[in-house]
Amino acid sequence: MGIKTPLPAAELGLYSLVLSGALAYSGQGLLEASQDGAHRKSFRELVQPGWEYIGRKMDVADFEWVMWFTSFRNIIIFILSGHVLFAKLCTMAAPQLRSWMYAVYGALAVVGTMGPWYLLLLLGHCVSLYVASLLGQPWLCASLGLAGLASFKLDPLISWQSGFVTGAFDLREVLFHGGSGFTVLRCTSFALERCAHPDRRYSLTDLLKYNFYLPFFFFGPIMTFDRFHAQVSQVEPVRPQGELWRIRVQAGLSVVSVVAVDIFFHFFYILTIPSDLKFANRLPDSALAGLAYSNLVYDWVKAAVLFGVVNTVARLDHLDPPRAPKCITALYVFSETHFDRGINDWLCKYVYDYIGGEHSAVIPELVASMATFAVTTLWLGPCDIVYLWSFLNCFGLNFELWVQKLAEWGPLAQIEAALSEQMSRRIRGLFGAMNFWAIITYNLVSLNSLEFTELVTRRLLLTGFPKTTLAVLFVTYCGVQLVKEWERTLALEKEKQDKEKSE
């Protein structure tokens, strides 16, 4: 049921006031907890000296973030700056060769970082999937792609292949898994597109240009081969009006986000506190709820910064990369829950949409989601936590469809049709609030730990019932209503713009 009527100003103000007040109250509890825990023995390894001039230590529990913005910061800036300069010179001197130059620079960067044997290993995977694509059998290409992905996720093949990397350094394992996993997904996309369009005669050189584009190589995002090939093959690419301004804004937002996270880590130890369950259990219910929410927000910011940086470089190269992930605060449905739009696009095109079709039938949707999360489990690396995370999110995705089908059932549909828009919106907002916390709980399993997830669930649903449960649900309901109003405004604005264009 589409909502056209805006929220009354008084109701909108009330929701905003409740949400901002709850966030401030929860934040105060987290700040006090961080101050109290700064000198605990269990925090010593994960909370280390930071801004000593104001007496603040820093949460360093996420070693990837710390490495990217300390010891590897200059290397990343140097390599990406070199790519931008190299690409600009090539575009000016020989634009018809720019895709070749991207691949050459990327391959040289891989050799300099990981060594020549690692490059040969990836070339072996590229050639094997290219040969499979010549046979024109999608099932064979998909099977070989999954087997290649499994070889980088399961022993003993993963141990053997990791030996191809030259040298030992802090991010060696991260770069190995990132470069290898994304290479297999890119090669699989190429092979499946070649099978789907045999008349286009994609060559091995097209695959190498696609795979070794440096900004996407180690950390993504994934662009399906058809999109990448169409964009990078433009001899004289033209920027849309205002594109350079949007690139500057994106670059500025990435810098602001990095600074904001650095400040946040000096005052809120959201990644370290969950590691000490005894200490976390002493937090007030409001602070514990804020801690769980903050863990997911941080993971979204981390993904947004990473993809924001590489997407800025890609846009300078006249590409249109996948957008940054949708903010966790605006998520209240499982179908939009993903922290990597590139992986999501790949899975939807080759697995989820291919099997599920219109996603309107219960059984095909169940099969499609199970297949999608099976591939996702392989991508993340099979283990007990990943199995549980996949099961919970697969259940959440299907449960949404079951509830939707139930809502469309004759008697219930008639009841909703008799309701006003505002009442219908309130009922859906209540379900959205419960769904929001299901999304947080299910994803805490993989982002933090099963023990911390159990603690949050027990405190918010059992020992905190009914006071804490209803309070958290009401605050979340206010947030969902604000998001729905924002989405309504955007939809109307887009409808207006489309109407003006058509006229």
Bridge partners (DSSP) of residue 23 are none
pLDDT single digits (tens) 429-477: 899 999 999 999 999 998 888 999 999 999 999 998 899 999 999 999 9
Average pLDDT over the chain, rounded to whole? Answer: 88
Residue type, 158: I
Q: Which of 177, 209, 186 is nearest to 133 (CA)?
A: 186
Q: Say if pTM beats, i.e. exceeds, 0.85.
A: yes
Give the domain ranges of the chain: 9-54+247-330+419-502, 73-232
Q: DSSP labels for 98-136?
A: HHHHHHHHHHHHHHHHH-HHHHHHHHHHHHHHHHHHHTT
pLDDT single digits (tens) 332-373: 888 887 778 889 899 999 999 989 887 778 888 899 999 999
Please report where in the chains the tokens 């800025």 appear, as a residue. 312
Would you say the C-alpha torsion 227, 232, 237, 238 has a positive or negative sign? positive
The CA radius of gyration of the chain, in Å to the nearest whole number, is: 24
- Contact call for residues 4 and 246 (beta carbons, < 8 A): no
d(CA 204, CA 499): 44
d(CA 154, CA 149): 9
- Contact call for residues 292 and 205 (beta carbons, < 8 A): no
d(CA 25, CA 19): 10
Is the bond leading into 156 cis (omega within 30 degrees of zero)? yes
- Contact call for residues 314 and 216 (beta carbons, < 8 A): yes
- SS3 at position 318: coil
Bridge partners (DSSP) of residue 57 are 49
Instruction: Name the band, by pLDDT with cuts 50, 70 and 90, for residue 233.
Output: confident
HSE-up of residue 478 (Cα within 13 Å, Cβ side): 19
H/E stretch holding 255 = helix 243-267
pLDDT single digits (tens) 25-47: 999 999 999 988 888 888 888 88
